[in-house]
């Protein structure tokens, strides 16, 4: 609740549009509350009807909503700047500095969309992605892509010029590449915004992000950004591949059932091997990594008919270093959960106009991290 109190204080007393002698504005408080719980004017009207309380009109609500969004966006970018300074301080203290004296850090990146895809429909009208500092777990960059504006669309259908309005449309390409475009944009702007180099990227298995980063080369032709994957994501992919193999073994039902029965055991063997070598204190990290890869390869080396299982294990071997680091994306997922609350749990279509202004939820996330 601290973030909400701070925002209300700013809007009531520090806003340039409101004098110190202005009384507490109930309308501002109501709109701010509605924004922070992921609701809108319709829900406020229902609340007013039940409590027998007059509610401001929709036009007034939209005007206040725009003002509040502006102020909250300003606060959000101030929080982003503070997070960058904190990451810089930590990097310098740990001597993580590049040849030119620029601090280098690891970041977590992830994206979210305005609707659920259920692994079939990747056609969301809006998408959002954030870059979070791995040390501070605070947001360093956030971007929104929106390929729809209801005002422009209505004017187009009626063969008219759209009236003057705040247009939120800033994307003309498929929804599937929104996340990669935002993350690459964040890497390109890291030097200007924070004077930081994002040396290591912690993300999911989306290869399009790394492909775009290799093409963009945000830090020069000779600088290589290293990618790490989340521990749970690697193991989940491995389990899914084992399930697919079991489904394909139709002509050999015994082997298929054997694989199904032992999927969890195979996963457990990997996690225990990782835990064993990670806790070894008397050898170097390079030796830990080499021994872990040997253990992972040994899992199916004695089976002559398990080529597909070995192929499934190759992904695990490729990301063995990520397994030893025990990396997760909890920071990005925490932000995505707050973002989901702001858009009504993805049940309300905010993509018509408003999603581009959802950067304001950075304030809530970073203040929660501070407290």
Domain boundaries, the chain: 1-60, 80-229+331-370, 232-325
* The predicted structure's pLDDT at residue 84: 92
* The predicted structure's pLDDT at residue 11: 53
CATH architecture of 80-229+331-370: 2-Layer Sandwich (3.30)
* The predicted structure's pLDDT at residue 356: 47
Identify the weakest region by mean pLDDT among 115-124, 127-136, 200-209: 115-124
pLDDT, mean over the chain? 78
Whether the per-residue pLDDT at 21 is higher than 50: the answer is: no
| Pairing relationship of beta strands 226-229 and 197-203 according to DSSP bridges | parallel
For residue 234, CA distances in Å to 28, 31, 107, 200, 320 come to 46, 42, 18, 17, 10
| Pairing relationship of beta strands 226-229 and 126-133 according to DSSP bridges | unpaired
Mean pLDDT of all residues in 117-129? 75
At 119, list the tokens: 């692994």
pLDDT band at 350 (very low <50, low <70, confident <90, very high): low
* The predicted structure's pLDDT at residue 49: 92
Look at 222 and 12; give whichever has higher pLDDT: 222
Yes or no: say if 356 and 171 are a contact pair by the CB < 8 Å rule: no
At 107, list the tokens: 């970041």
Q: Is the dihedral of CA 112, 337, 14, 77 positive or negative?
A: negative
What residues does 129 pair with on adjacent strands? 111, 143
Strands annotated E in 29-120 = 104-113
- Cβ neighbors of 299 (< 8 A, separation 6 or more) are 266, 269, 270, 313
* The predicted structure's pLDDT at residue 196: 94
Distance CA 73, CA 364 (A): 11
What residues does 142 pair with on adjacent strands? 130
pLDDT band at 16 (very low <50, low <70, confident <90, very high): low
At 71, list the tokens: 């102020």
The Cβ-side half-sphere exposure at 134, using a 13 Å CA radius, reads 21
Whether the per-residue pLDDT at 235 is higher than 80: the answer is: yes
- Furthest-apart CA pair in the chain: how many Å? 83
Distance CA 338, CA 78 (A): 19
Whether the per-residue pLDDT at 319 is higher than 50: the answer is: yes
Look at 308 and 131; give whichever has higher pLDDT: 131
Mean pLDDT of all residues in 249-264? 70
At 293, list the tokens: 């890869």
- Interhelix angle 330-342/361-370, nearest 10 degrees: 140
pLDDT band at 347 (very low <50, low <70, confident <90, very high): low
pTM over 0.85: no
Whether the per-residue pLDDT at 50 is higher than 90: the answer is: yes
Dihedral, 344, 363, 56, 27 alpha carbons, nearest 10: 150
**Best CA proximity match to 235, nearest among 274, 280, 202:** 274
pLDDT band at 292 (very low <50, low <70, confident <90, very high): confident
Dihedral, 150, 151, 157, 158 alpha carbons, nearest 10: 150
**Best CA proximity match to 168, nearest among 140, 187, 154, 149:** 149
Yes or no: say if 50 and 10 are a contact pair by the CB < 8 Å rule: no
pLDDT band at 300 (very low <50, low <70, confident <90, very high): low
Mean pLDDT of all residues in 14-23? 49
* The predicted structure's pLDDT at residue 19: 44
**Best CA proximity match to 353, nearest among 170, 93, 227, 226:** 170
């Amino acid at each position: 609740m601290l973030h909400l109190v701070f925002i209300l204080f700013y809007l009531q007393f520090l806003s340039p549009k409101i004098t110190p002698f202005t009384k507490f504005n109930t309308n501002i408080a109501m709109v701010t509350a509605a924004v922070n719980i992921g609701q809108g004017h319709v829900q406020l009207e229902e609340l007013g009807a039940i409590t027998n309380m007059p509610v401001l009109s929709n036009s007034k609500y939209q005007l206040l909503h725009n003002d509040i969004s502006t102020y909250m966006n300003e606060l959000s970018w101030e929080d982003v700047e503070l997070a960058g300074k904190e990451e810089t301080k930590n990097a310098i203290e740990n001597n993580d500095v590049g040849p030119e004296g620029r601090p280098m850090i690891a970041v977590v990146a992830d994206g979210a969309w305005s609707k659920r895809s259920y692994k079939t429909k990747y056609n969301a009208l809006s998408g959002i992605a954030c870059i979070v500092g791995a040390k501070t777990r605070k947001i360093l960059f956030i971007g929104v892509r929106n390929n729809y504006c209801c005002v422009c669309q209505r004017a187009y259908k009626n063969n008219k010029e759209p009236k003057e309005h705040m247009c939120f449309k800033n994307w003309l390409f498929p929804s599937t590449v929104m996340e990669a475009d935002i993350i690459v944009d964040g890497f390109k702007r890291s030097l200007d915004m924070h004077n930081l180099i994002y040396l290591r990227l912690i993300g999911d298995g989306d290869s399009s992000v790394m492909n775009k980063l290799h093409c963009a080369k945000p830090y020069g032709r000779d600088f290589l950004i290293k990618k790490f994957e989340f521990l749970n994501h690697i193991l989940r992919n491995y389990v899914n591949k084992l399930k697919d193999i079991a489904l394909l073994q139709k002509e050999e039902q015994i082997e298929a059932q054997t694989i199904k029965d032992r999927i969890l055991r195979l996963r457990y063997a990997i996690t225990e091997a990782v835990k064993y070598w990670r806790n070894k204190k008397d050898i170097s990290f390079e030796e830990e990594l080499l021994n872990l890869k040997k253990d992972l390869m040994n899992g199916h080396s004695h089976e002559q008919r398990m080529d597909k299982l070995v192929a499934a294990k190759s992904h695990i071997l490729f990301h063995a270093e990520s397994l030893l680091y025990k990396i997760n994306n909890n920071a990005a997922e925490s932000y995505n959960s707050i973002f989901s609350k702001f858009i009504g749990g993805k049940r309300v279509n905010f993509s018509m106009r408003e999603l581009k202004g959802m950067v304001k939820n950075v304030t809530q996330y970073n203040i929660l991290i501070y407290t």
